[in-house]
Amino acid sequence: MFPIVATEELVPRVRLYRIHAPRVARKAAAGQFVILRVDAHGERIPLTIADWDAAEGTVSVVFMEVGTTTTRLARLKPGDVIADLCGPLGNPTEVENFGTVCLMAGGFATATIMPIARAMKAAGNRVIIVVGARNKDLLFWRERLAENSDELIITTDDGSAGRKGVVTEPVKERLERGERIDRVIAIGPSIMMKFSSLTTKPFGVKTIVSMNPIMVDGTGMCGCCRVSVAGQTRFACVDGPEFDAHAIDWDNFMARQRTYIDEEKRSLEICRCPTA
């Protein structure tokens, strides 16, 4: 059992949970994830590690309340326990002094890029962070992002904060001006990562994305998290979760993400039923 130490609603439907998991906290690194199960009857879902404290023995995860498991997870309070938490899983982000690193985050992936930004900054990189959301009410951790970057750019779809537009636009403008960016890391919804890849590819900028496919065991045995990379089948849980964005078959990946939409809707309806 893994006790929940603290919870916080960052923005509507996006929550941070700090969970007591000392062995995971001792080994965690930027870019890795955990797989958790709410209770003995729950499904296993992957969540990226947003932060950790080895001395305290805690790991923090951020999730959006959108499906059955995250809805059930959101009902838990400090002092409640999570049945299973396995990790850290996946390969850590490749961190070295690349020069100028641009981190792009869409939606609640802000939490995912935070430890990466911190690690890149510590390695001596100039760090540019571009964060996008639909509106200002869905933005969080702006102060923390600013502290761990040399430049923070905010974009919103409606222009209510920062500049109006999407995260790819300021990056494209800089590349068109000839500004040097040595590496891009884009994390967020699949469509956002796909268009980030399309934006940087003409300029030959190495671009890394963190893939979030359907996942079951997290050990490479089930094959559910397969991703086509440069024509080869790779498993996000053991070969990733980060891959070269320009080598991914995005159409195949996004089609596979829609495989269980109907089943997920029915499951969520049952979960939200007062008698469930």
pLDDT tens digits for range 240-272:
999 999 999 999 998 888 877 777 778 778 887
Architecture of domain 100-257 in CATH? Answer: 3-Layer(aba) Sandwich (3.40)
Q: Which two tokens stand for residue 18?
A: 């700090």
**What's the pLDDT at 263?**
78
- What is the Cα–Cα distance from 235 to 218, expressed in whole angstroms? 9
Question: Does 225 carry a binding-site annotation?
Answer: yes
d(CA 218, CA 46): 8
Per-residue pLDDT, averaged over 73-95, amounts to 96
CB 47 within 8 A of CB 59: no
Residues near 233 by beta carbon (within 8 Å), at least 6 away in sequence: 226, 227
pTM over 0.85: yes
Calculate the alpha carbon distances from 200 to 75, 107, 182, 225 in Å. 40, 20, 11, 25
In this prediction, residue 276 carries a pLDDT of 46
Task: Outline which parts of the chain fall under CATH 2.40.30.10.
Answer: 2-89
Q: Give 198's pLDDT tier (boundaries 50, 70, 90).
A: very high
The answer to whether residue 275 scores a pLDDT higher than 60 is: no
- The answer to whether the annotation marks 237 as part of a ligand binding site is yes
115 close to 185: Cβ distance less than 8 angstroms: no
**Strand 242-244, strand 81-82: pairing:** unpaired
Which residues of the chain does CATH 3.40.50.80 include?
100-257
Q: What is the pLDDT of residue 116?
A: 97
pLDDT band at 274 (very low <50, low <70, confident <90, very high): low
Classify 2-89 by CATH class: mainly beta
pLDDT at residue 192 above 70? yes
Arithmetic mean of pLDDT over the chain: 93
- pLDDT higher than threshold 80 for residue 46: yes
pLDDT of residue 149 exceeding 90 = yes
